[in-house]
Amino acid sequence: MTAGAPGRALFISDLHLDESRPGIVEQFEKFLEKVAPGADALYILGDLFEYWVGDDSIAMPFPARIAARLKAAAARVPIRFMHGNRDFIAAAGFAAGTGASLIADPTEIDLYGARTLLMHGDTLCTDDAAYQAFRTTVRDPRWQAAALARPIAERIAIAQDMRLKSEGAKQGKAMAIMDVAPAAVEQAFRESGCTQMIHGHTHRPARHVHRVDGTDRIRWVLADWYERGSYLEATPAGLRSVESF
């Protein structure tokens, strides 16, 4: 993706795909079939699934269905996948099964001439100390190895329980705590030197302007897919959010 070159890149996150929401699943499949082909790249910035309990789950009917759709789409558009807080345990088997390339969080790219920082977004929510402690625990390779050693049915039950507890914990937290901390955003801009940022996680889609060291930096927050599909489209002419397709 170089400045002035024709093309487009697509960004999505927080789809939380699950069998209980067939309408959104079908919309995602439509997106892969009708919208994504021909793009320079499709970036999935975390939380593709409601939960991912290990790459061996890709053999189960629902994950296998999504993996097959992604694999077919990957033949027509490069797919880049970044871990979220629901699918942080996805690994090489996930990549092989979906045709997606795993990318680090954060990742810097040249987006048609603009240095752009890609993140899931949860590391920016530094005011939520309880969540950050949890994140540190589950990203530990020893914790993950122990989790993956459990039978898959047990892992699914644990993931569902964790999801319920997470939703319950949110009810007792101030909304501001669960949003990004301005200081963390500024630090990320400053350390990367990027002029714009794209992330998800907070489910608060918007375009923000941050004044950092005398320069305006742009932060795009991706929408979730709980009610309807949405994606951010980047072209040499700029970025725009698309909510119907």
Q: Is residue 4 part of a domain?
A: no
Q: Is residue 170 part of a domain?
A: yes
pLDDT at 85 over 80: yes
Cα separation of 188 and 16, whole Å?
26
pLDDT of residue 245: 76
Q: Is residue 174 part of a domain?
A: yes
pLDDT at 3 over 70: no
Q: Is residue 214 part of a domain?
A: yes
Q: Is residue 1 part of a domain?
A: no
Other CB atoms within a 10 A radius of the CB of residue 166 amount to 13
pLDDT tens column, 22-79: 999 999 999 999 999 999 999 999 999 999 999 999 999 999 999 999 999 999 999 9
pLDDT tens column, 8-34: 999 999 999 999 999 999 999 999 999
Cα separation of 14 and 22, whole Å?
16
pLDDT of residue 2: 45
Q: Is residue 195 part of a domain?
A: yes
pLDDT at 5 over 60: no
Q: Is residue 37 part of a domain?
A: yes
pLDDT tens column, 162-213: 888 777 666 656 666 779 999 999 999 999 999 999 999 999 999 999 999 9
pLDDT of residue 170: 62
Residue 150: which domain range? Answer: 9-242
Beta strands in 106-180, from DSSP E residues, in sequence order:
107-111, 114-118
Of residues 219 and 3, more confidence is placed in: 219
pLDDT of residue 4: 41
Averaged over 214-230, what is the pLDDT? 96
pLDDT of residue 176: 63
pLDDT of residue 6: 65
pLDDT at 233 over 90: yes
Phi first, then psi, for residue 169 (nearest 5°) are -65, -35
Averaged over 107-132, what is the pLDDT? 97
DSSP 204-223: --EEEEEEETTEEEEEEEPP
**CATH number where 214 lies:** 3.60.21.10
Number of domains composing the chain: 1
Q: Is residue 124 part of a domain?
A: yes
Cα separation of 126 and 30, whole Å?
36
